[in-house]
Structures are given as C-alpha cells and as structure tokens.
Structure 1
Amino acid sequence: MAVDRFGIAFVHQPPEPRQGTYVRLAEDRGFESAWALETRLMRDGVTPLTAWAARTNRICLGTAMINPFTRTPTLMAQTFATLDEISNERSILGIGAANQMLVEDFHGEQFERPLTRTKETIEAFRQFLTGDRVDYDGETVSINGASLDFQPPRPNIPVYMGVTGPRMLRLAGAIADGVVLNAFVSEGYIKNAISLIEDGANEAGRDPPDVGMVPVFSIDADGHSAKETVKPLLAEYVCNLPGLEDARRKVGDPLFEREDVRSEIMEPVRETTETESIEVAAEHVPDDFVTELAAAGTPTECVERLDTYFDLGLDFLVPSLMGEHYGYGIETIADHFDLDDAT
C-alpha cells in the first residue's frame, strides 16, 4: 500500500523563529520534508533552511523555488554543498525559472531562454558536486575551470524542478529527481501535467520522477474564514500573472477555460486592481473557486481536498500554510494520514 508523503511550507508568515518551531513539529509528526518558499521578495529560500537544519534531525530541507537567473550554478553548488554539511546530507535543490517580472523588474537581469538556462544550470550544478573541475560551455551558462574548494558531502543532491508550462514539464520529466507543480491549479491541469512529465521521462528513456505540488492550505473551524484568508493571494496569483495563465492554457486547465470563470471572476478582479487594492479585488472571488484551487476550509474540507490530490496521481504534497492555525494544520494532516505510523 502506498504511503501518503508530505512536506510543509509557509506562505509569507509566520516569521522566524516560529517557522522553525513548526518545522520541528512537522518532523516529530512524520512529515518528510520542509520547503522555504522564495516568492517575489519575501524571505530568501536558503537562509531559513540553515536555521531549520539546526533544530531538526531527519526532515529533508528544500528551496521552493530558487531561479537560475539570480543565482549562478557555481553559487548554487557552494550553497547546497554547505547546507548538506550543516544538515547531514538533507538538502534539496528546488529550482524554477521564475518569471519575467521577478527577474527583469525586481533584479535587473535578462529573462532570456528560461528552458535552456534551467537545463544548463542543473547540468553544471551536478558537475560541481562531483568535486572535479568544471568546464561547461553551454548556450546560456559558461564556466571555465572552476571547482569547489571543499569536498561536497555527496555527489547527488536531489534536484526538484518547479514547473508550470508544457516544455518545462517535459524537461522535468527528462532530467529532474522530482517535480513540484505550482499552487492554484485545477484537477484537469494536474492530470495533463503528470502526462507531460511522463512523456518527457519516456522520451529520455527513464522512469518518471516523483511528482508533487504545493497546495495552499488554510484551516479554520469557520470554513468561510479559512477561504477568506486565501482569496487575496488567489486573486493576485491566478488573475494578475499573465505568464502563468498562458502556461496553464498551453498545458490545458479546463477550469480557466470556462466562460463563467473568466467573465465573473478573472475579468472583474483584473478591472478592480486597476484602481483598488488586491484585497478589494478579492471580493470577486467566491468560496467555491477557492475550493477548486486550494485546500482551504474546515478540517474535514482540507483533508478531503488533500485526498483528492493524491487520487489524481500525485506522489507527495507540500501544503503551504496560511492563516493563524499552523500547528493545528500540521496536527490535522498528521492525524488524518497517519504520518506517525509511516516514519
């Protein structure tokens, strides 16, 4: 019988050191991984992992996701080999291409050829972990005679790719150790994404990697209140990021192709944000739309949604906690899925 596997992450809050306290609780309750989100300009995705490593013993520690434009493969190798030393070989490189706004507007770098840049960064990163000299002459990455000045603890730190569009999904199937699907995607999208990942693996002549996702998770005895917590982020994420919408459309996301969703939710949200805050725009997001795209509501609603994600064929889930009830959420998941018995 397959064991349901879980990681844990946090959407913006709580601040450290409270996050570390909840990561320790997650480890004690049987979660297998903890992920630091590097979303927009919130906390960076690496520093929290070093703090969590000092407070835990078993749980794996990953970034979700750092990008190949603002960090070089050389720096990534230095960083994750060091984190592997600190954590006793528990690090995971979570990498994704990010988006044009983040890379160009926020960092002043050129967002060019993201597929090739991601692929070449992963290849060069893996070469560094052998401890040997790296000479890499790619189309977007060039390294001339560099090697780490210390021996990496292991030559095979897992690389998990955070991907959304069809070409990236196929690439992840071909080269990644694991794949993490984006938040706020529908059941139809998940099925199509898994198929594309399998296609990429088959073309590369390998077994498909494990596939998971980071569903936003908001739990409260008052289910409506839990959904209200999610609505501003959902409104911004699915209605105001055209790059993500285009990627979902290319993969096939039936929910977002519905005329009522476009005319009654997405268009009003976009129009409202032209003159009002995202919180005001989120008033156009109904509860049932949140239910379609997140694990949000009462404890029963939340775990039923997680059950549904596993039924779609996902191998693991990384609930990304929002709201105030972080410990309650961790305990609810652990109890429902018997995580203590799985460790």
Structure 2
Amino acid sequence: MTDAPFDLVLMTDDHSEIDAIAEQAQRAEAHGFANVTMGETTGWNIIPVLTVIAERTEEIGITDDVLSPYARAPTVYGQTALTMDEITDGRFRLGLGTSSPALAERWHSGEFDRPLRRLRETIDIVHEVYEGGSVVYDGEIYDLGGLSYDRSVPDEPPAIDVAALGPKGTELAGRFADGWVPQLFTVEGLEDRLEDLARGADLGERSTDEVRVSPLIRTFASDDPERARSIAKQMLSFLIGAYGPFYGNSVAEQGYEDTVAEIRDLWEDRDTAAMADALPDDLLDSVAAVGTPEEVRSRLETFVEIAGVDAIRLGFVSGMSQEDKEFTMDAVEPMIE
C-alpha cells in the first residue's frame, strides 16, 4: 500500500466549543496527519480558531478550507497569512476559493460577480503583500496602492491553495497557486481535470510539480458499513442538490446529470430522505470512501495512485459521532504512517 500525506478536515459544526475542536486537531497530529483544516461559513471566524489550534499543536500544518475573496480585502488576506506564518512557525497554508452566491450575497453583502477574476486578483495582491514593498495594483476588480506591509516578510511566505471544480478555476490554480483542492470527483473526472491544471501550469511557465494536489474525499469507516453508507448519502445528496450550484453541476458533468436533476427536484420539496435514496451506490463509491476499514483504505488508495495527486484531504461526513470519527482515523492511520 502506498504511503501518502493525509490532511484532515475538521467539522466546526460538530463542536460546540473551541477547546473541543482543538482537541480534535491534537488527535489528528497524533495520528500523523500532515495538515488540519476547516471551513468558514456563518459560524466561527476560523482565523482565531486556527490560532488556538496552532498554540496547542507542535508539528501539524495549519490551513483553512477555504476563505472567500468576498469576505475580506485581499491585503487583509496577505496580512492574515503572514501573521499566521509567524504564529505557526511556518506551518500555515492560505486556502482561497470563490465560495458561493449565497455566502457572497446573503452573508458578505457583495454581488457574486466575476468570481474567478476576483480570486485571481486576490492571489495577485497577496503575492504583492508577500513581496514586502509598496502594494500597487490596478486591476479590473481592485484598485489600490501606496501602503506596505509594515513587518518583515519571511523568505518563504505561506503557500496559497485554491479550491476549484471547473476547468477555468482549475487552470487558474495551475497557473497562480501552490495547491489545488478539488472535491466530489470520480477518478476519471479528477484525471480529466488534472489536464486543466497542467494547461494552467504551462500558461504560468511552471510545472505541475509546483502545485500540491490534494483532493478532498469524504470518508467514513465503520464496522456497520450500511449505516455509514446511509449517513454518507444524506450528506452527499445535500451537497449535490442543495449546497449551491457548483457541486451539483460538477457531478452532473461527470456522467450523473439525471441523478443530479432528480436530487435537485426533491430538494424543492425539502425531501431530504428521498434525496439520499436517489443517490446511487455507484456514485457514492466513485466520489467517497465509505464502508469497512478495508473498503475505505482500498477506495482511498485508488485516489492516492492517480498520477499528479500529492496528498489526500480526508473529510468526515455530517452525522458521524466522535466515536465514528476516531474509528475512521484509526482505520486510515496505516496509510499515513
């Protein structure tokens, strides 16, 4: 079995206290995960939470999964990354993505316009902050200049990861970012998208070897695999049918157009049970790793073996208990020792 770095996505909604999520990060470090990450929606501001995690861990990498250019100014992201680099003693990676219309418009009070251009310019400006001189930028979205980051800048500032699903977003990652984080891809779909990453790297006159590819795989190992599959179908069907348009569109383009249409129709009636029932077993097994420990390791191995994949970002499934999560970490640990 091939060894590979594994990252762990912490599920903030499953923890009522910051101490609890910090303890989960400590467990991840003990299991040998390379990085720990979490998302930000309308709950905790995750930067202070990641700071707590950094103070209570020693070696594990710290990142976010992912921050939106609609949520903060690009210069603030540069400041944040450099501050976190100092707090973590060089363990921080900055994760960026276009987010979704719902968050951009209904939470951040912005218009979800030209998201890829906004993401591109955000990356440009963060890089300018990293350079330590006066930040001057005349873009299509942002126009700023005249001030500088007022502290020293490390020789190797934090890497920038981009979460993207579509061909243009993946091309952008290949051209400008240090990492690409895809989610809900089949093996074949991921291999196709890696061609877009390579095209972007060519446009940036760089190699894909400079881009850390870490697909996020929803994972649930259990000695009751049918229960695990039932719970996983609930989450995946929600992501596909209700959680913004992008996940569903991506899955549809990978050969599941009728399934996505059916799940979306069921969401109109908020029939979440029927949504889960409508998600076929072959789709679950194509994009996730759910089942017995042996089945989970085998499924993860198929993604590890894809040429161009550098790491696996393991994500839990909504509805898992803490016992389920610890069982899953135990099941995966032989792959990451």
The answer to whether the superposition gives a TM-score over 0.5 is yes
Query: CA offsets, 1:314-337, max 9 Å, x none?
Result: 2111101231222222222112x1
Letter in 1 for 2:297: V
Deviation at residue 32 of structure 1 after TM alignment: 1.0
Aligned to 1:327: 326
Distance 2:286 2:205 in 1: 35
* Cα 1:104–1:274 shift into 2, 3 Å: same
Q: How does 1:1-343 map to 2 (within 5 A)?
A: 3-15=3-15, 16-38=18-40, 40-182=41-183, 184-208=184-208, 209-240=211-242, 241-247=244-250, 252-254=253-255, 256-257=256-257, 262=258, 265-313=259-307, 314-322=309-317, 323-324=320-321, 325-335=324-334, 337=335, 339-340=336-337
Deviation at residue 3 of structure 1 after TM alignment: 4.2
Deviation at residue 98 of structure 1 after TM alignment: 1.1
Query: CA offsets, 1:65-95, max 9 Å, x none?
Result: 1011111111112222221121111110000
Deviation at residue 43 of structure 1 after TM alignment: 3.6
Deviates more, 1:314-323 or 1:231-240: 231-240
Deviation at residue 279 of structure 1 after TM alignment: 4.2
* Cα 1:221–1:42 shift into 2, 3 Å: farther
Distance 2:116 2:261 in 1: 30
Query: CA offsets, 1:285-309, max 9 Å, x none?
Result: 3444322221112111211111011
Distance 2:280 2:125 in 1: 45
Deviation at residue 127 of structure 1 after TM alignment: 1.2
Distance 2:198 2:94 in 1: 21
Letter in 2 for 1:34: V
For the 8 Å contact 1:134–1:147, the answer to whether it is kept is yes
For the 8 Å contact 1:6–1:318, the answer to whether it is kept is yes
* Cα 1:234–1:2 shift into 2, 3 Å: closer
For the 8 Å contact 1:215–1:294, the answer to whether it is kept is yes
Deviation at residue 21 of structure 1 after TM alignment: 1.8
Q: Secondary structure at the match of 2:131?
A: coil
* Cα 1:177–1:140 shift into 2, 3 Å: same
* Cα 1:305–1:273 shift into 2, 3 Å: same
Deviates more, 1:29-38 or 1:6-15: 6-15
Distance 2:272 2:116 in 1: 31
For the 8 Å contact 2:161–2:179, the answer to whether it is kept is yes
Deviation at residue 11 of structure 1 after TM alignment: 3.5
Distance 1:223 1:103 in 2: 37
Query: CA offsets, 1:239-260, max 9 Å, x none?
Result: 23333344556xx513x24xxx
Deviates more, 1:161-170 or 1:319-328: 319-328
Distance 2:251 2:166 in 1: 6
Letter in 1 for 2:326: G
Distance 2:226 2:251 in 1: 27
* Alignment gaps of 5+ in structure 2: none
* Cα 1:191–1:109 shift into 2, 3 Å: same
Distance 2:3 2:123 in 1: 29
Percent identity of equivalent pairs: 25
Distance 1:332 1:244 in 2: 27
For the 8 Å contact 2:240–2:263, the answer to whether it is kept is no
Distance 1:138 1:279 in 2: 46
Query: CA offsets, 1:247-292, max 9 Å, x none?
Result: 556xx513x24xxxx1xx4344223222234345323334443222
* Alignment gaps of 5+ in structure 1: none
Distance 1:292 1:247 in 2: 13
* Cα 1:284–1:247 shift into 2, 3 Å: closer
Letter in 2 for 1:334: E
Distance 1:102 1:282 in 2: 24
For the 8 Å contact 2:241–2:267, the answer to whether it is kept is no
Number of equivalenced pairs: 327
For the 8 Å contact 1:224–1:287, the answer to whether it is kept is no
For the 8 Å contact 1:129–1:154, the answer to whether it is kept is no
